[in-house]
């Protein structure tokens, strides 16, 4: 259970502006990414998205948090699910997946593990942007 902050003005635009998308738009985005929300509920309160319930796996839980958080207009995700604390990294200007991997995993050559941990939200290892939040695999 935690509160994860996101850069409200960054991310994928679902509503055509900086307004927070509604729960239906966020659920559709998660579905479009092919993520399994079985057992989870997604709701919106202001510019905060609330994720509750029991996810099918820790990996899926973390990916759903990132999928709804990395949307323009969302400033935070309140994670009210159970499970270990996820490890995330907020991309800063000049970051590369290699650099994030070196910092988070101790070896830049393990960048592909971070890329794979963030699929399908990431389509290419070079396409990350400042303010984006990435999942750091804990079992890596």
Domain of residue 128, CATH code: 3.10.350.10
Same domain as 42, residue 8: yes
Q: What per-residue confidence (pLDDT) applies to 99?
A: 96
The verdict on residue 140 lying in a domain is: no
The verdict on residue 72 lying in a domain is: yes
- Residues 6+ positions from 76 with CB-CB distance below 8 Å: 3, 4, 5, 6, 47, 48, 49, 69
Residues 80-127 pLDDT 10s: 887 888 899 999 999 999 999 999 999 999 999 999 999 999 999 999
Same domain as 59, residue 9: yes
Which structure tokens are listed for 137?
Answer: 């695999």
Q: Helices 23-32 and 58-69: crossing angle, nearest 10°?
A: 120
Same domain as 94, residue 73: no
Q: What mean pLDDT do residues 66-87 have?
A: 91
Give pTM, 2 decimals: 0.86
Q: What per-residue confidence (pLDDT) applies to 19?
A: 81
Q: What per-residue confidence (pLDDT) applies to 11?
A: 86
DSSP 135: E
Please state, rounded to an integer, the average pLDDT across all residues of the chain.
91
Same domain as 12, residue 52: yes
Q: What mean pLDDT do residues 44-50 have?
A: 95
Which structure tokens are listed for 28?
Answer: 């559709």
Same domain as 116, residue 59: no
10 or 109, higher pLDDT = 109
pLDDT category of residue 48 using cuts at 50, 70 and 90: very high
Same domain as 122, residue 64: no
Q: Kind of pairing, strands 133-135 and 88-90? A: antiparallel
The structural domain count of the chain equals 2
Last residue of a domain, one of 37, 65, 81: 81
20 or 109, higher pLDDT = 109
Q: What per-residue confidence (pLDDT) applies to 68?
A: 95
Q: What per-residue confidence (pLDDT) applies to 77?
A: 95
Residue 43 has pLDDT above 60, yes or no: yes
pLDDT category of residue 37 using cuts at 50, 70 and 90: very high
Domain residues for 93? 88-135
Q: Is 111:98 a contact under the CB 8 Å cutoff?
A: yes
Same domain as 68, residue 111: no
Q: What per-residue confidence (pLDDT) applies to 24?
A: 93
């Amino acid at each position: 259970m935690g509160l994860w902050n996101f850069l409200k003005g960054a991310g994928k635009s679902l509503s055509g502006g900086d307004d927070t998308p509604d729960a239906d738009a966020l659920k559709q985005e998660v579905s479009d990414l092919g993520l399994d929300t079985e057992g989870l509920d997604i709701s919106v309160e202001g510019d905060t998205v609330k994720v509750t319930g029991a996810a099918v796996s820790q990996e899926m839980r973390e990916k759903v948090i990132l999928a709804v958080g990395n949307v323009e207009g969302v400033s935070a995700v309140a994670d009210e699910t159970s499970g270990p604390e996820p490890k995330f990294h907020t991309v800063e200007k000049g970051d590369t997946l290699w650099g994030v991997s070196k910092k988070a995993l101790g070896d830049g050559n393990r960048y592909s593990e971070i890329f794979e941990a963030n699929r399908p939200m990431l389509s290419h290892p070079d396409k990350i942007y400042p303010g984006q939040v990435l999942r750091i695999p804990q079992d890596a």
